[in-house]
């Protein structure tokens, strides 16, 4: 089996192409190989593996069980190679053009899209890698150099890091207007835990934040349903599936009809997003410095002053970002 390590990328592509085409000749043509060459390459792979990879049929070929397993692995390998090439391409053009940002969910959904749009218009050669993480993971990544900028709520003093204010925001409770609710404009988070919750997926920053705050009170969260995105959370709350915690800054981009927005009494509900960078990356010609300067221009604007009700399409940052990965980790830190 160690001979598999000597297979070429062409062999992997050919295996996938033949499977997709269901025909040796058409699969070979997709890889610019003559039918006889394609057949010989597949036969060579079968000799290396020690079993047949395709069943020859009157109208073509189909993968055997072993062939399908190998094809699945080939697809993953080729996908990883394409991702690696995409990640390295900016460095081959300009070693300083790649900027890696780690941010929490509210920054990604609400503040970064407009800022990154302005930045990429001014710096068309720049490439952004944006990942969602919790605060503690961001700090470690920035210190270690895996991220250029972190956007977080928990700023821990560190001799190698600088912090700058970005936006004010607030965590609020969403509840259905049709459901009974305690009197008052504010509610304690502890009192909310008697209701079932709608939350985002396991590992998302806001979900980890929800579980952490309940754990600090010695309580557990009754998560009735989990969905992806704040707009989906709002829809499920409107359908009386439960209550939810969301950043107030998200309310302007989701349909809040039929929803009650309630302030939390807890001090941690009001928070400031901060920019975190290493001191040694702030050179005058650095893309990181240029982006940091732009982000600081709009610091602490109107996150906490977002409308309490409204409607609109769900917004995100995909339109302005070259790479967006859902690299989420379970944690008990802040989102």
Instruction: Give domain limits for the chain.
Output: 2-92, 94-168+272-325, 169-269
Least confident of 30-39, 162-171, 312-321: 312-321
- Using the predicted structure, report yes or no on whether residue 76 has a pLDDT greater than 70: yes
Specify the CATH superfamily of domain 94-168+272-325.
Periplasmic binding protein-like II (3.40.190.10)
2-92 CATH:
1.10.10.10
Sign for the pseudo-dihedral over CA of 113, 117, 120, 124? positive
pLDDT band at 94 (very low <50, low <70, confident <90, very high): low
pLDDT for residue 319 = 34
Nearest-Å Rg of the Cα atoms of the chain is: 25
pLDDT for residue 283 = 61
Calculate the average pLDDT of the chain: 82
- Using the predicted structure, report yes or no on whether residue 190 has a pLDDT greater than 50: yes
pLDDT for residue 201 = 86
Average pLDDT over residues 244-249: 91
pLDDT band at 58 (very low <50, low <70, confident <90, very high): confident
Average pLDDT over residues 267-277: 90
Provide the whole-model pTM.
0.59
pLDDT band at 317 (very low <50, low <70, confident <90, very high): very low
Average pLDDT over residues 235-264: 91
- Using the predicted structure, report yes or no on whether residue 258 has a pLDDT greater than 50: yes
pLDDT for residue 205 = 81
Q: Which of 61-75, 115-129, 320-334 has the highest mean pLDDT?
A: 61-75
Contact 272, 300 (CB under 8 A): yes
Query: What percent of the chain clears pLDDT 90, i.e. is strictly above it?
Result: 41
Average pLDDT over residues 187-206: 90
What letter would DSSP give residue 51? S
- Using the predicted structure, report yes or no on whether residue 284 has a pLDDT greater than 70: no
Question: Does residue 314 come out as left (phi exceeding 0), alpha (psi in the -120 to 50 range) or beta?
Answer: beta
pLDDT band at 180 (very low <50, low <70, confident <90, very high): confident
Same fold, 2-92 and 94-168+272-325: no
Average pLDDT over residues 29-36: 91
pLDDT for residue 303 = 40
pLDDT for residue 55 = 93
Q: Which CATH architecture has domain 169-269?
A: 3-Layer(aba) Sandwich (3.40)
Average pLDDT over residues 169-195: 90
- Using the predicted structure, report yes or no on whether residue 74 has a pLDDT greater than 50: yes
Structure tokens at 200: 């985002």
Q: What angle, 0 to 180 degrees and rounded to 10, lies between the N-to-C axes of helices 65-93 and 9-21?
A: 130
- Using the predicted structure, report yes or no on whether residue 59 has a pLDDT greater than 90: no
Q: Map 249-292 to HEC letters.
A: HHHHHCCCCCEEEEEECCHHHEEEEEEEEEHHHCCCCCHHHHHH
| Alpha helices in the chain, H assignment, sequence order | 9-21, 24-30, 35-49, 65-93, 105-106, 112-122, 135-144, 189-192, 205-216, 230-238, 287-297
- Using the predicted structure, report yes or no on whether residue 308 has a pLDDT greater than 50: no
């Amino acid at each position: 089996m160690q001979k598999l390590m000597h297979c070429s990328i062409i062999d992997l592509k050919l295996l996938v192409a033949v499977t997709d085409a269901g025909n040796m000749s058409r699969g070979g043509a997709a890889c610019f190989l003559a039918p006889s060459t394609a057949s010989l390459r597949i036969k060579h792979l079968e000799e290396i593996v020690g079993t047949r990879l395709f069943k020859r049929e009157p109208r073509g070929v189909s993968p055997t069980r072993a062939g399908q397993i190998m094809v699945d692995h080939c697809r993953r390998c080729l996908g990883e190679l394409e991702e690696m090439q995409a990640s390295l391409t900016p460095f081959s053009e300009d070693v300083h053009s790649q900027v890696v940002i780690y941010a929490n969910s509210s920054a990604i959904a609400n503040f970064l899209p407009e800022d990154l749009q302005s930045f990429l218009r001014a710096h068309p050669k720049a490439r952004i890698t944006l990942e969602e993480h919790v605060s503690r993971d961001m700090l470690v990544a920035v210190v270690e150099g895996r991220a250029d900028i972190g956007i977080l709520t928990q700023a821990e003093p560190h001799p190698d890091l600088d912090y700058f204010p970005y936006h004010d925001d607030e965590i609020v409770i969403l509840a259905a207007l049709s459901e009974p609710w305690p009197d008052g404009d504010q509610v304690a988070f502890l009192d909310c835990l008697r209701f079932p919750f709608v939350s985002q997926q396991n590992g998302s920053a806001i979900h980890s934040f929800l579980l952490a705050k309940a754990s600090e009170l010695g309580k557990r969260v009754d998560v009735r349903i989990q969905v992806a995105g704040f707009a989906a959370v709002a829809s499920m709350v409107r359908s009386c599936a439960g209550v939810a915690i969301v950043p107030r800054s998200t309310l302007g981009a989701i349909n809040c009809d039929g929803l009650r927005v309630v302030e939390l009494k807890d001090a941690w509900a009001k928070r400031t997003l901060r920019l975190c960078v290493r001191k040694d990356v702030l050179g005058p010609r650095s893309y990181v410095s240029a982006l940091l300067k732009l982000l600081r221009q709009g610091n602490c604007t109107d996150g906490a002053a977002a409308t309490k009700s409204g409607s609109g399409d769900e917004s995100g940052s995909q339109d302005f970002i070259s790479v967006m990965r859902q690299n989420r980790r379970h944690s008990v830190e802040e989102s």
